[in-house]
Amino acid sequence: MRRTTILALLLFAAIAAERARVRADLPERSDRVVSYTIKARLDPALKEIRGEMDLVWRNASSKPVDEIYLHLYLNAFRDKDSTFMREGTGEGRAGSRRDEEYPGFVRIDRLRGADDKDLLPALSFVQPDDGNEKDGTLARLKLPAPAPPQETLSLKVEFTSRLPRVFARTGWSGDPEDPDSLFFMAAQWFPKVAALRVDGEGEPRWDAHQFHRNTEFFADYGTYLVSITVPDGYVVGATGKGTGSAKNADGTVTTTFQQEDVHDFAWTASPRFRAKEFTWTFDSFCDDSPKLGLKLRELLARTAQHRGLEASQVKPGNTVTVRVLYQEDHEELLGRIWQAAGASLACYGMWFGRYPYETLTIVDPPAGGRAAGGMEYPTLITIFSDAHAPPYATGLESVTIHEFGHQFFYGLLGSNEFEESWLDEGFTSFTDARVHEVAFGPETAATRYGPFHTPRFRPFEAPSVCGRLRSLFGVGKLLDALPRPWKRPDSLLPVPGAAPFWDYLRDMPALHFDAHVRIPQPMGDRGGYLRSGTRDAMVLKGWEFADRTDYRANSYPKPSILLYTLRGMMGEEAFDRMMYAYAEKHRFKHPTTEDFLAVAKAHDDKTGSFLDAMVETAERFDAAILEASHRKVEEGGAGGPKWEWTIRVQRRGAVELPIEIRAGDELLETWHSRGRETTRTFRFVREGPLDAVRLGPSWLATIDADLSNNARSVEADGLPAATLAARWTFYVEEIVRSHAGVAR
Ligand SMILES: [Zn+2]
């Protein structure tokens, strides 16, 4: 009795300690290593920003530092010889190219220390990554005297930033001669101090790289106070909170923005912007959108339960002013942007800790400025929208949710985007699909037709005759009720015992009245990962990947698939707890791959070999049935005839995952294949013959490279083959018909 009481008390104490830990308040602020006070003046005619900057930097290490590094990202657009331009073919974002007539650069005009001493002669371009002497995107400043530990260093910098015609995130668009037509996106526009890291031994090390085609950005947290002067009539949006605005005698307006605990500052200006403000709180958003609100409240309750809390203890956020800067003809899209942003604030806030800032600015660039779209900056994101995009084409929602997600994986968890892009892009890709699923359903309008990828091409985008017929006679509802392969990943291939008859019917080309094809996002990620044929390890520095395809596959879909699989292995509850623990522990810090792996393995030590294989290698996972057979072993007798089933299963590749062996509804065995034992024969004695075998669990379907060997029937079955044949006929017919324009 006594012992039981003590045990119970110990157990209770352990649970209480765990609860106290998850309830611990999130870090309130960053280490604030840098402080920028910048006066910026935009000259629309020259496409230039003249800046005066007071920079205060603190040596946060325990050793003296005798040099500091400055990122001069805009110099990537100076000429064709920059490392950024040499690594690409000149192509930019959204189908744009660099315009040689309108290059970009940043020039430091004056550089002085606190004692007003000229430091410019001590500044030089350096190229630690590739030795390209023509590259001017990183500069080193030899300090006149070492900066002592924990002491601050003040610099006064005057600079000129010429923005390029936008083709890679930053720049301007419009008619260069007409200031009323211009759109400016000022990103990576000022000289920015690189991040000083402290290695294990306490040795400081500058984490400074040149600007590469495949890399994004990395800097330390700090405070920004930026006043922006533009012509009167321009609408300005920026990182942080506007603290005041004043008209000047020369026909300009100066607006000041302030933000603490961020690691970058971006702004935008255009006379053509319309502005709309929304006020977000979790409760008001849920009340105003009842259907979505109900789902979010249910999710909040579930998330709280996963973390061992009451629903009232999970706070997704305080009050956030969401300001959308949009184009005049996009007014009807405002509601959709707001729904996507509001759902994102709620979901990310409950999963990873509340959004700590008071503002979120969403920039909708004009058609000519799409190359600035789809990008994240602290408290400011850029999206792209198309006034004619039909509601089912959810690209607008997707880009809003994705870029908002970076407020967490990039913003609050400031990983090194030069070196470990999977920690921001991969985590955001995985989570944006989850938000999308909660808010808008699991599927996105796809531009994939079976095995064919057709980017920016939707055969049925225009309302087709078939589409109208579909809605007219209610055929649509009937068709929606049919099972579809892309709705259930594990039925992507017809297997015996599923619904071969319905599969067959569904795939008859004549029955296809679909206006568009939708697939769940995990299957999109699966396609991206498996189609890439990547041979690189998942975590490399951005410019070390064999090519851009490998960079992208390893930054977006592969890590996303890794997280789906991890959630499958751990179960949603443990997974949610683990992800929250990671986000909480590393908020306002610079987590690395090792930091994430440590948290994941601490929550579930069985995930270690899987995580290591995914991170360190390009190995794929494939579970395969090599044999499924049966023989009668006992005739008659008391229990009737007995059958021996023989099932041989193989794990292909070094990625180790549990493989379930199922026959009908019965789980026969879960095989934890490890190391060199890649094949095993299983024998079961049952009262009847074996019909078919199928491998699971269902979440394996997102990562398993070949689903066609995951199911096998003992007797030959012609229906799956007929179903496949019908499906291929359909694909080929659709492609041919669409290209010929017959469908319209
Ligand atoms: Zn992203």
Interval 49-65: pLDDT, tens: 999 999 999 999 999 99
The conformation of residue 237, written as its DSSP 8-state character, comes to E
Q: How far is the CA of 531 from the centre of ligand 1 (A)?
A: 20
Average pLDDT of the residues of the chain: 87
Q: How far is the CA of 403 from the centre of ligand 1 (A)?
A: 6
User: What confidence category does residue 479 fall into, taking pLDDT thresholds of 50, 70 and 90?
Assistant: low
Q: How far is the CA of 429 from the centre of ligand 1 (A)?
A: 7
* pLDDT, tens digit (0-9, with 9 covering 90-100), for 448-471: 343 333 333 333 333 334 445 555
Identify whether 56 is part of a domain. Answer: yes
Identify whether 589 is part of a domain. Answer: no
447: amino acid identity, one letter? T
Identify whether 261 is part of a domain. Answer: yes
Q: How far is the CA of 409 from the centre of ligand 1 (A)?
A: 9
pLDDT > 90 in the chain, percent: 71
Asked whether residue 209 carries a pLDDT value surpassing 90, the answer given is yes
Identify whether 152 is part of a domain. Answer: yes
* Mean pLDDT to the nearest integer, 535-562: 94
Residues 6+ apart with CB under 8 A from 668: 647, 661, 662, 682, 684
Q: What is the pTM of this model?
A: 0.87
pLDDT at res. 640: 81
Q: How far is the CA of 389 from the centre of ligand 1 (A)?
A: 21
* Mean pLDDT to the nearest integer, 596-617: 96
Q: How far is the CA of 695 from the centre of ligand 1 (A)?
A: 34
* pLDDT, tens digit (0-9, with 9 covering 90-100), for 400-452: 999 999 999 999 999 999 999 999 999 999 999 999 988 987 666 443 343 33
CA distance 176 to 99: 12
Question: Which of the listed residues 256, 271, 286 is the one where a domain comes to its end?
Answer: 271
* Mean pLDDT to the nearest integer, 632-646: 84
Identify whether 535 is part of a domain. Answer: no
- Helix-then-strand count for the chain, H and E: 17, 33
Alpha helices in 24-101 (DSSP H): 83-87
Q: How far is the CA of 240 from the centre of ligand 1 (A)?
A: 20
pLDDT at res. 690: 94
CA distances from 472 to 417, 457, 476, 477, 731 (A): 50, 26, 9, 11, 25
Could you tell me if 160 and 107 are in contact, meaning their C-beta atoms sit under 8 angstroms apart? yes
Q: How far is the CA of 407 from the centre of ligand 1 (A)?
A: 10
Asked whether residue 515 carries a pLDDT value surpassing 60, the answer given is no
What CATH number has the domain bearing residue 63?
A: 2.60.40.1730
The number of beta carbons lying within 10 Å of the beta carbon of residue 250 is 8
pLDDT at res. 740: 59
How many domains does the structure of the chain reveal?
A: 2
**Nearest alpha-carbon partner for 31 in 68, 57, 67, 65:** 57
pLDDT at res. 449: 40
Q: How far is the CA of 113 from the centre of ligand 1 (A)?
A: 37
Question: Could you list the residue range(s) of the whole structural domain that residue 183 is in?
Answer: 34-271
DSSP assignment of 604-627: -GGGHHHHHHHHH----BEEEEEE
Q: How far is the CA of 189 from the centre of ligand 1 (A)?
A: 20
Identify whether 253 is part of a domain. Answer: yes
pLDDT at res. 532: 84
User: What confidence category does residue 2 fall into, taking pLDDT thresholds of 50, 70 and 90?
Assistant: low
Torsion over CA: 373, 374, 376, 379 (sign): positive
Q: What are phi and psi of 246, to 5 degrees?
A: -145, 140
* pLDDT, tens digit (0-9, with 9 covering 90-100), for 90-114: 778 877 888 999 999 999 999 999 9
Q: How far is the CA of 527 from the centre of ligand 1 (A)?
A: 18
* pLDDT, tens digit (0-9, with 9 covering 90-100), for 268-305: 999 999 999 999 999 999 999 999 999 999 999 999 99
**Nearest alpha-carbon partner for 422 in 409, 408, 411:** 409
* pLDDT, tens digit (0-9, with 9 covering 90-100), for 640-663: 889 999 999 999 999 999 999 999
Q: How far is the CA of 715 from the centre of ligand 1 (A)?
A: 48
pLDDT at res. 391: 66
Q: How far is the CA of 126 from the centre of ligand 1 (A)?
A: 28
pLDDT at res. 737: 61
User: What confidence category does residue 617 fall into, taking pLDDT thresholds of 50, 70 and 90?
Assistant: very high
CA distance 613 to 204: 31
Identify whether 696 is part of a domain. Answer: yes
Q: How far is the CA of 424 from the centre of ligand 1 (A)?
A: 7
| Length of the chain as a residue count | 744
Q: How far is the CA of 425 from the centre of ligand 1 (A)?
A: 5
Could you tell me if 731 and 450 are in contact, meaning their C-beta atoms sit under 8 angstroms apart? yes
Identify whether 663 is part of a domain. Answer: yes
* Mean pLDDT to the nearest integer, 208-217: 94
